[in-house]
A and B are shown apart, each in its own frame.
Chain A
Amino acid sequence: MVSANTDLVYNSKIEGDVVISRADAVINWIRTNSMWPMPMGLACCAIELMAVAASRFDIARFGAEVMRFSPRQSDVMIVSGTVTYKMAAAVRRIYDQMAAPKWVIAMGACASTGGMYRSYAVLQGVDRILPVDVYVSGCPPRPEALLDAVIKLQEKVKREPSSRRLLSA
């Protein structure tokens, strides 16, 4: 919501149970707080991704409750682990199958830049094939770092001019 529900601004006795806000704010609020991840769990970072989904560092608190492995039902693809050239095709295809709006978090050093694997088989950064929104460094990043990335992505999404895109689409 754009403004807090204070008596200065909004009085339910006068205005009733209707809250007026900007379309951008509502759309972005909905998107950020229910951002379902598509876990592209490839290697060791996938284990930290699972730890983020488990009880101690619960990612469900941030709305990313459902780790659906179905691209059609997810919003953000978390590329966690080394992307090899052999796997790059599959990653790109799955990204294409995701419905807009979609974002990408490159988790870990290998997804961001190829990591410590400077070799013939490793794609040097998943941003060569996908547009990445947030990069997380670490090998593997701590779960808190991934949660920080989710929060940064949420802040980035809050700044998007969503309604203009929706209406002009």
Chain B
Amino acid sequence: MPSADFPESRSAVADLKARFPRITDRPSLDHPAVNVPAAEAPALLKSLKEERGFDMLVDLTAIDWAEGASPRFTVVYHLYSTERHDYIRVAADCPDDSAPVVPSVTAIWPGANWHEREAYDMFGIRFEGHPDLRRIIMWDSYPYHPLRKEFPLAGIETELPDAEVAGETGAKLIPAPMMGGPFVASPGKINMSEAEPGAKDESWTEKDEKP
């Protein structure tokens, strides 16, 4: 239940600090979590897998803390132990903010292959040592990384992936019409005037017809 304790995992974390002195505690509301420098992440994860019994990588994802924050990207790994049934979270900040690169963990878990491809696709984080780093969710020639904070939800105008169909129909990837769209959009504290119902992004309105 919400405030369950994980004595085995917490003791595992305490032991790890002896071997990997540069890891720090990460505040977390549920599972034990540690921060680790990106270069040491594969070694730490391998040690967690082989010595501490966290044999399953359940999730590998990234967080974008928005332009201006440094470090800007954080890669987060969630590991699960099939014997003890508990989780641990490992977070690694990407050293470079404009061209983030972290080492890949596909050698430890082959299942990380697709997760890393997705993180590359959505955030632009390169994984060094990945056998086949290409886009997985968007099409290969898509020029942007959608989950970055400066990328608008409506999208940016681009060409369709298939030139033949684009020529035939004249269709393009246009920004989605957000007229009257989601009217609360600021995480954190917002003031009432911003929270009033109103479109934040108006690509077209009643007066400006749909293209």
Contacts and interface: CB of A to CB of B under 8 A. Distances in A.
Interface string B40-57: 000000000000000000
Contact of A89 (B146, B155, B162, B182): B162
Given A85-B160, A86-B161, A120 B154 contact: yes
A129 B171 contact: yes
A119 interface: yes
Contacts of B138: 86, 121
Interface string A80-95: 0000011011001100
A85 B154 CA distance: 13
For chain B, what secondary structure do more than half of its interface residues adopt (helix, strand, loop), or is it mixed?
A: loop
A114 interface: yes
A43 to B, nearest CB: 15
Interface string A89-121: 100110010000000000000000010011111
Contact of B176 (A86, A96, A118, A130): A118
B129 interface: no
B176 A92 contact: no
A86 B89 CA distance: 33
Interface residues of B, number: 25
Given A86-B138, A86-B139, A120 B176 contact: yes
Given A85-B160, A86-B139, A124 B165 contact: no
Contacts of A130: 169
Contacts, number: 60
B169 A129 contact: yes
A124 B168 CA distance: 18
B178 interface: yes
A92 B165 contact: yes
B184 interface: no
Contacts of A124: 174, 176-177
Contact of A128 (B139, B154, B155, B169): B169
A122 interface: yes
A114 B176 contact: yes
B151 interface: yes
Interface residues of A, number: 19
A124 to B, nearest CB: 6
Contacts of B146: 120-121
Nearest to B155: A120
B198 interface: no
Contacts of A86: 138-139, 161
Contacts of A88: 160, 162, 165, 171
B197 interface: no
Contacts of B169: 92, 128-130
Nearest to A96: B168
Contact of A119 (B139, B160, B171, B176): B176
A92 B181 CA distance: 28
11 contacts: A85-B161, A86-B138, A88-B160, A89-B160, A118-B153, A118-B182, A120-B151, A120-B156, A120-B176, A124-B177, A130-B169
Interface of B: 138-139, 146, 151-156, 160-162, 164-165, 168-169, 171, 173-178, 181-182
Q: What are the 10 A-B residue pairs with the smallest beta carbon separation, nearest first?
A: A120-B155, A89-B162, A118-B176, A92-B165, A89-B165, A129-B169, A128-B171, A85-B173, A129-B171, A86-B139
Given A121-B146, A130-B169, 12 more contacts: A85-B161, A85-B173, A86-B138, A86-B139, A88-B171, A92-B168, A118-B154, A119-B154, A120-B146, A120-B151, A120-B152, A124-B174
